[in-house]
Amino acid sequence: MVNMKHESLLSIAALRRHIASIERHNGARSTEIFAFGAASVDQELGGGLALGRMHEVFAATADNASSAAGFALMLAIRASTHGGAILWLRQEQAEFQAGRLHATGLAELGLNPERLILGIAPDTQTLLKAAADSLRCAGLGAVVIEPWRSPYAIDLTVSRRLGLAAEHSGVTAILLRSDAAPVPSVAQSRWEVSGTLSTPLAANAPGGTTFDIKLLRHRGGRDGLAWRVEWNRDRQIFHETPLSGAILPLPAGGPLAAHGKVTPLRQAG
Amino acid sequence: MTLADARALVGDFAVFEHDIQADQRWLERLADYCERYTPMVSCDPPDGLLLDITGCGYGYDGEAGLVRDVEQRFARIGMTMKAALAYAPEAAHALARFQTVPASDEYLAVRRLGITALEAEPETETALRRAGLKTIADLATRPSAVLTARFGDETTDKLARLLGKADSRITPRRPLPALAVERRFAEPIAKVAFALDILTALAGETAQILESRSNGGRRFIARFFRSDGAVRDIMVETGLPTRDPAILERLFRERVDALADPIDPGFGFDMIRLGVARLEPIAPTQLQLEGGSVADKEVAELIDRLSIRLGRNRVHRFIPRDTHIPEQAELALPAIEAPVTAAWKEPPEGEPPMRPIHLFDPPQPIEVIGASVPDGPPARFRWRRTLHEIIHYEGPERIAPLWWRMAQGEGLTRDYFRIEDVRGRRFWIFRHGLYGTERQNPGWYMHGLFA
């Protein structure tokens, strides 16, 4: 009896060691983060989001798909400030129905298109397989994975596979869901994005890219927070703008121009 | 003989339309089959194949042994054939079709052929016969100037090639690989996994040869010869020249996994050949301190794998083009061959994005309500059954069609507007045609979406 008890104690100790080794393995790479640049966001996030993890970006409604794509790109840019190519994996249907990814437009958001590789998969399964393979390539800066609708294909197993691959190589994965509802996943953070009114420039022209972002979930941090941020293309960081929704009587030129010189006349076209 | 005559004589038989295409396809397939002997195979329609087997008799007991092997294999797949060996393609062609009397060697055999072997025009042939020239030997002894004067260049050229006096070669059906290694099996192998292992071994052999030449391959073609005559090609391509067997193995496995119709071993493969279609020198790489070149290599290998899994036209890099037409301003090239560096214009500082991130191709028509004429923006518009109220706009940015097309009366001026609706969606729309001068009622289109 005593002997048996001793043995079970031994095996429990062995199990504990095993669990500890697994935890060590997971915990070893959690230190590096990338910041948004907007102080209030970074403060709530504890400095920023973790590199080498998976982050999910959802569009608030289907017609916010482009805003969500833009936000995903901005996260990818922030996560790969050290350089490296950004791989964007899409599906054929997205290219046909949601519009082709326009490299010139991405350049306008601050990505040098030289760094962009676009992969187009015929279906979700192929896309996810390609994504898992790509995430193992440590030479990449970030991977944007954009499945087209199909909420069932992405389950916990798939997201765990992607998450582990990202963790192992240190490549940040951005899972972009334009027209889908959140499902359980191992993502480090989950965002909901909708485009919002920009601060108009001179002559009532649309201003810089402004989003309402909502942090739906943040592993090991607070969630349920919301901000209104504007993307500064030139410095490749976010700025916060007040969440009131009202258009503030800012000087002509807006916050974008305020960083550089204010030009009373803009060249339009 | 007409079909009616034949029916009257024999009565009961099956009739098929002559399907030239099917014949040609079958001939092509047999030609593929014959590539096991030599890469220099060409079709000799309608019913012949020409093989250049110079130096290929090794392993078959010489050239005669090789011919015996061809005969055996063709008999096995139910083909009757007549083979002839000769010093020139034309001579072999003529011997296979027109030889009636045996001869001790091919030179003599060709000389004993009748002049039908020239396959000249009927008038020429009649003229030759009338002149008492009945065999090739009769012609061969005449001075060619006389023959040219009487029967034309064509006859003497043909004769020269038949006699091996003029240079004549086979044009192979496919470009020859720069390098090829192969393995034959006494017993056909029926397992794809084993065939892939053999391929890995062949990749190892290739790597040794390439290393000695300090070259790498950009395109590799594995050819699986099935014992029943079917041939299957699997090609992989790499962005950077490579000779690493491990990479090749991975690429081939990737390719085989991604095949829409999997490799069918049937009764087994009896030969596998690995050809390198494109050779390029491998430059020695120097590691950078930051590991830049290692990362680049990893990404290049990833692009290779993705290009094989998704298809080479589905993995893109973008390069800019010097045009002001928005949808033509960039080119998506296969990443496997696109240059990595390209001169992209930096957007001006402090400006909001002027081009959308999603571009519709073709642009989608929208229903516009209350557009101010002649060149103002709409007040609201309907797109995908949703009404959008415009609050901010900028434009028009006028983009004219290409002048050489405008001169022909084609193409309309587009007036682009960057707009924002009350809910904060940002769109890029344009009016197609100038109001009044180009169109009475110009159409409006949605061309793209801003982030």
pLDDT tens digits, one per residue of A25-47? 554 445 689 999 999 899 988 88
Helices B122-130 and B144-151: crossing angle, nearest 10°? Answer: 130
- Cβ-Cβ contacts under 8 Å for A211 (sequence gap 6 or more): A67, A70, A71, A193, A194, A195, A196, A228, A229, A230, A231, B451
Nearest beta carbon to residue B451 from set A70, A85, A261: A70
In angstroms, what separates the C-alpha of A149 from chain B's closest C-alpha? 17
Chain B residues within an 8 Å CB radius of A123: none
Chain A residues within an 8 Å CB radius of B260: none
**Nearest residue in A to B346, CA atom:** A107
**Contact check, Cβ <8 Å, A113/B318:** yes
Q: What local confidence, expressed as pLDDT, does residue A258 receive? A: 45
pLDDT (tens digit, 9 = 90+) per residue, A47-74? Answer: 889 999 999 999 999 889 999 999 999 9
Tell me the average pLDDT across A127-153.
89
pLDDT at B389 over 70: yes
Nearest beta carbon to residue B424 from set A100, A195, A257: A195
Q: What local confidence, expressed as pLDDT, does residue B426 receive? A: 94
Chain A residues within an 8 Å CB radius of B340: 114
pLDDT (tens digit, 9 = 90+) per residue, B170-221? Answer: 888 888 888 899 898 989 998 888 999 999 999 999 999 998 888 889 899 9
Q: What is the pTM of this model?
A: 0.75
pLDDT (tens digit, 9 = 90+) per residue, B207-254? Answer: 999 988 888 898 999 999 988 888 888 999 888 888 888 889 989 988
Tokens 């027109």 sit on residue:
B98
B50-74 in b/e form (b: 16+ CB < 10 A) is bbbbeebeeebeeeeebbeebeebb
ipTM confidence: 0.82
Nearest beta carbon to residue B310 from set A66, A120, A206: A120
Q: Does A225 touch chain B (CB under 8 A)?
A: no
**Contact check, Cβ <8 Å, B310/A198:** no
Q: Does A193 touch chain B (CB under 8 A)?
A: no
Q: What local confidence, expressed as pLDDT, does residue A23 receive? A: 61
Nearest beta carbon to residue A105 from set B297, B353, B360: B353
Q: What local confidence, expressed as pLDDT, does residue B285 receive? A: 59
Q: What percent of chain A has pLDDT over 90?
A: 54
Half-sphere exposure of B341 (CA within 13 A, CB side): 0
Tell me the average pLDDT across B302-316.
90
SS3 B273: strand
pLDDT (tens digit, 9 = 90+) per residue, B104-158? Answer: 888 888 888 888 888 888 888 898 889 888 888 888 888 888 888 888 888 888 8
**Contact check, Cβ <8 Å, B358/A73:** no
Q: Over chain A, what is the mean pLDDT? A: 84
Chain A residues within an 8 Å CB radius of B335: 117
In angstroms, what separates the C-alpha of B432 from chain A's closest C-alpha? 16
Chain A residues within an 8 Å CB radius of B331: none
Interfacial A residues in 110-129 facing B (CB < 8 Å):
112-114, 116-122, 126, 129
A71, A117, A174: which to substitute to probe chain B, counting the most B Cβ within 10 Å? A117
Rounded to whole angstroms, how far apart are CA atoms B306 and B300? 10
pLDDT interval class at A77 (50, 70, 90) = very high
Q: What local confidence, expressed as pLDDT, does residue A22 receive? A: 67
Q: What local confidence, expressed as pLDDT, does residue A232 receive? A: 92
Q: What local confidence, expressed as pLDDT, does residue B149 receive? A: 87
Tell me the average pLDDT across A232-260.
62
Interfacial A residues in 199-218 facing B (CB < 8 Å):
200-201, 203-212
Q: What local confidence, expressed as pLDDT, does residue A251 receive? A: 45
Tell me the average pLDDT across A128-139.
92
Rounded to whole angstroms, how far apart are CA atoms A115 and A131? 17
Return the minimum-mean-pLDDT range out of A97-101, A133-137, B130-134. B130-134
pLDDT at A254 over 70: no
**Nearest residue in A to B395, CA atom:** A268
Q: Over chain B, what is the mean pLDDT? A: 87
Answer with the residue of higher pLDDT: B93 or B289: B93
Nearest beta carbon to residue A102 from set B298, B301, B357: B357
DSSP 3-state percent helix, strand, coil across chain B (nearest 5): 35, 30, 40
In angstroms, what separates the C-alpha of A32 from chain B's closest C-alpha? 18
In angstroms, what separates the C-alpha of A207 from chain B's closest C-alpha? 6
pLDDT at B283 over 80: no
pLDDT (tens digit, 9 = 90+) per residue, B323-370? Answer: 889 999 999 999 988 776 778 888 888 889 999 999 998 999 999 988
Interfacial A residues in 21-40 facing B (CB < 8 Å):
none
**Contact check, Cβ <8 Å, A206/B309:** no
Residues in chain A: 269
